[in-house]
């Protein structure tokens, strides 16, 4: 069975920024090939004799979805929902893409609430998997490292962690390690200013996948400061590496970490984040509580579980399994 994965964004082979959509497409492509499917990943729909199209991002892939549906009215179409598809609310294009899809993939369980009730029976929650860094890197004993990863744009509220670090006591050993490409120009100036005036702050730029995993695994804590998220892959990376997560309390994280996770702070509240940073550094019991929560969640984020979930979805959408499912 042939599958075309349509993922809007630059071609990674030519040095363009690695987007979340492209990373997801690459991972799904690998897992589907392991299941025996023939997979092609494209930036837009290319007419082929494909039996299935998986489109990432209902809004940005809307035109590709319409073209596929026009050429293959009986073809099987699966939509992977991106964060900006559903938060703060779905656009008309996204709603039409949902309606045209035979199956819909949500990356965390809260996302289903953003899908129209009449379409919710098409939704499957597929958690993005990760593998731990082995051997596990040692964590610094001279500094208490807090990492933040993600391309710098408004929805990520990317300078909030640096702002929070300015309220730390002078004796704190916390160091802020920020990685990600600058996608919106105002943040270039903000990063330069923070680098010059905040001795705790280090900007690492865009990292490749291996370096990203290594940074998360070697951090004492990882922070998510986003206003909205569809289901951040870096949370999966943190959990499988037993790195505690501090996150804004928004659906994208609650859907992955659970309502009762102890490491939340209100969206945009730098003072609350400062207090959590102080607790993580000074209160070993609290840090151990966060680590235990990550350890408990980690088994849900294995490649085996993600591969099985994809296989089950394709069987459900197509009526029978046509790959060589393992």
CA dist 46 and 78 (Å) reads: 16
- Where does the chain hold its CATH 3.40.50.2000 domain(s)? 2-129+302-318, 144-300
pLDDT at 325: 38
CA dist 89 and 87 (Å) reads: 5
pLDDT at 48: 84
pLDDT at 18: 56
CA 199 to chain CA centroid, nearest Å: 29
Strand partners, 55: 6, 79
pLDDT at 15: 42
Q: Please name the residue ranges forming H helices in the chain.
A: 20-34, 62-71, 83-86, 92-100, 160-165, 186-197, 209-218, 233-240, 251-257, 270-282, 284-297, 303-318
Q: Supply 64's token pair.
A: 């590709």
SS3 48: coil
CB distance 295 to 186 below 8 Å: no
CATH superfamily, domain 2-129+302-318, is Glycogen Phosphorylase B; (3.40.50.2000)
Strand partners, 247: 224, 264
User: Residue 306 CB: number of other CB atoms within 10 A?
Assistant: 20
pLDDT at 49: 78
pLDDT at 247: 98
Q: Which fold has domain 144-300?
A: Rossmann fold (3.40.50)
Which residues of the chain are modeled with pLDDT < 50? 10-17, 321-326
pLDDT tens digit string along 109-164?
A: 999 999 999 999 999 999 999 999 999 999 999 999 999 999 999 999 999 999 99
pLDDT at 324: 43
């Amino acid at each position: 069975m042939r599958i075309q994965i349509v993922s809007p964004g630059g071609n990674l082979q030519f040095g363009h920024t690695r987007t979340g959509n492209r990373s997801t497409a690459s991972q799904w492509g690998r897992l589907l090939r392991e299941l025996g499917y023939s997979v092609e990943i494209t930036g837009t729909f290319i007419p082929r004799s494909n039996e299935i199209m998986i489109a990432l991002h209902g809004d940005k892939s809307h035109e590709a979805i319409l073209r596929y549906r026009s050429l293959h009215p009986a073809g099987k179409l699966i939509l992977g929902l991106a964060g900006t598809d559903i938060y703060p609310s779905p656009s008309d294009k996204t709603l039409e893409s949902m309606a045209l899809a035979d199956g819909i993939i949500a990356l965390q369980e809260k996302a289903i609430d953003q899908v129209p009730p009449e379409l919710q029976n098409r939704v499957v929650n597929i958690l993005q998997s990760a593998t731990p860094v082995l051997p596990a890197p040692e964590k610094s004993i001279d500094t208490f490292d807090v990492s933040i990863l993600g391309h710098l744009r408004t929805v990520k509220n990317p300078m909030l962690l640096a702002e929070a670090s300015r309220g730390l006591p002078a004796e704190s050993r916390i160091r802020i390690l920020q990685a990600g490409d600058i996608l919106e120009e105002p943040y270039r100036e903000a990063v330069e200013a923070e680098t010059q005036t905040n001795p705790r702050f280090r900007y690492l730029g865009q990292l490749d996948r291996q370096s990203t995993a290594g940074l998360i695994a070697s951090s004492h804590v990882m922070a998510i400061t986003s206003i909205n998220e569809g289901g951040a892959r870096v949370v999966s990376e943190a959990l499988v590496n037993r790195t505690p997560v501090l996150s804004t309390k928004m659906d994208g994280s609650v859907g992955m970490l659970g309502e009762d996770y102890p490491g939340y702070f209100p969206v945009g509240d730098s003072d609350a984040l400062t207090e959590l940073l102080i607790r993580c550094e000074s209160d070993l019991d609290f840090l151990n509580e966060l680590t235990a929560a990550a350890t408990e969640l980690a088994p849900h984020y294995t490649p085996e579980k993600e591969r099985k979930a994809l296989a089950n979805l394709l069987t459900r959408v197509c009526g029978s399994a046509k790959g060589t499912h393992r």
